[in-house]
Every structure is written in structure tokens, then in C-alpha cells.
Structure 1
Amino acid sequence: MAAAEKSGALDEGPFYHGTKADLQVGDLLTPGFSSNYRPEVIMNHIYFTALGPDAAGFAAALARGEGRERVYIVEPTGPFENDPNVTDKKFPGNPTRSYRSQSPLRIVGEVTEWARQTPEELQRWREKLVKAQGEIVN
């Protein structure tokens, strides 16, 4: 994918996005919504991973909202880059295979099975996120 080469991203897909939004194949995920981790921050990018459905499912579990957790297979519609919130800041070399784009992501499928965290594990992560003092690179 030319967008990946241009941005220095390591992956060409498949890509996944975890959310609680109820969407359909062909719908677009766009930036411009509140951060799941800092609701006062409006995000300039849409985030996704090539690590697999388990990673996206974890993000869906931590997402705000009341809907059921969903993992979508997505296709970037424009250039994307390594997520600077984790790449070379927390995990050099992007082992999380996390990316972001200012362009929409097109939903091309949905995954219904992935490894889910226990309620206790999710609560520990939520507590860590509340205590996190790092800045979001938006």
C-alpha cells in the first residue's frame, strides 16, 4: 500500500478497529470524536491496529459507551502513520502495530470472536488509565 510506504508504517494489513459503535460494512470511521481515555480531548485521528482482533477487542472493551463491543476489519482511505502515543515513546519500533490516520477508515468486515479480558483485568486497566499522566499526541 502506497500510504503505508509513504508514512513509514510497517504494515499493509489487515487492520482492525475496536469500538462500541454499531456500524455496517461500507460505513466510515472518522476522527473528530472524544478520546476514550481523556473525554475532554477531541481526537484529530482515527486509530487502528494490525496486531489482530484481540488487540482491537481490548480497545473495544475500554471504549466509552454502552453498546456491545465490536471489532471491525478496516481499510484506510488515505495516508496513515505509526501511532506516536506508543511508537518510540512507550514501545520503540511499534511492536503494538498501532496506527492512526486523519482520513476515514472504511469498514470491510466484522470479527465476532476474540480473546476477551476478565472484568477484573479491565478494571485494573481502567484504573491505570485514570492514573496515567502522559500527554496524548493529537
Structure 2
Amino acid sequence: MVDPLDPGPFFHGTTADLQPGDLLTAGHRSNYRPEVVMNHVYFTALVDGAGLAAEIAAELSGDGATPRVYAVEPTGAFENDPNVTDKKFPGNPTRSFRSASSLRVLDEVADWNRLAPDARAAWRERLAVIRAGGGGEILN
């Protein structure tokens, strides 16, 4: 594993209603592509990055789910997220990580920037294209 050299704090965005002490584990379906079972749990050191992930997960759920951001701590080794750092943003300016080990929820974070209505609409359009098989990636 690569030493990410980031002390945190760390955050995870989701629609799940979690409590301090809960564990986020790999082996669940992706928030973004439900046909994919995840081998890692993803997180970031940027609270608004976790907020974006939560907003996207809420849009994709289509059931009015509430986007939530949690402060988390890794319980094991973690690495820079190669899907973002190697392909999109060399040097990991997004401070994005993944771990095959669990993340422990410390607390819910209330102070994060929600997407403006026009940004939410743009994400909704981008996600509709992806779901319709039009290709593309979440982060372009």
C-alpha cells in the first residue's frame, strides 16, 4: 500500500443513517453503480468532497434520501484512491483514499457546503447520461 501521508481528519459521504461507533465496511454495493460490489471503503480529507459524494448518492437513490457526511477514522491501512489520483488528479489534491479495512464513524458533520440548485441539476443530467449507458464517469 502507498503511504498517503495525510493525517486527516477524514470524512465519508453517504445516505446511510449512522451513529458514532458504527463501522463502514467493504463488500456492499456501490452508491454510484449498484451492480458493483465494492472491495474498498472510500473517504476523503475534504469535508466538501464527502458532501459531494453524499449528494450524488442521494440523487442516484431516487428515493429522497438525505445526504449525510460523517467524520470517520480508518481502522487499518489505506491508500490513495487510484481511480482518482492516478487517472484524474495526479498528486491527490482531492485527498481521496480507500481502504479494505473498516472506517469507524466518529460523528455526523453538519457544517458542509450543499450543492446549489443549478449544480444539483447539472449533476442530475450527468448521472442520467451515465445511467442510460451514455458512458462517461462521475468525475470528468
SS at match of 1:7: coil
TM-score, length basis structure 2: 0.83
* 2:3 equivalent to 1:8: yes
TM-score, length basis structure 1: 0.84
How far the C-alpha of 1:39 sits from its partner, in A, is 1.6
Residue in 2 aligned with 1:3?
none
When the two chains are superposed, the root-mean-square deviation of aligned CA atoms in Å is: 1.6
Q: State the distance in 2 between where 1:78 and 1:96 align.
A: 21
Structure 1 range deviating more: 111-120 or 96-105 = 111-120
Identity of aligned residues (%): 62
How far the C-alpha of 1:114 sits from its partner, in A, is 1.0
How far the C-alpha of 1:132 sits from its partner, in A, is 4.2
* 2:15 equivalent to 1:20: yes
Q: Across the two proteins, how many residue pairs are aligned to each other?
A: 128
Runs ≥4 residues deviating over 2 A: 64-67, 125-129, 131-134
* 2:48 equivalent to 1:48: no
Q: State the distance in 1 between where 2:106 and 2:71 align.
A: 6
Q: Which runs of 5+ in 2 are unaligned?
A: none
Q: Which runs of 5+ in 1 are unaligned?
A: 1-5
Q: State the distance in 1 between where 2:99 and 2:52 align.
A: 20
Out of 7, 25, 32, the position equivalent to 2:27 is 32
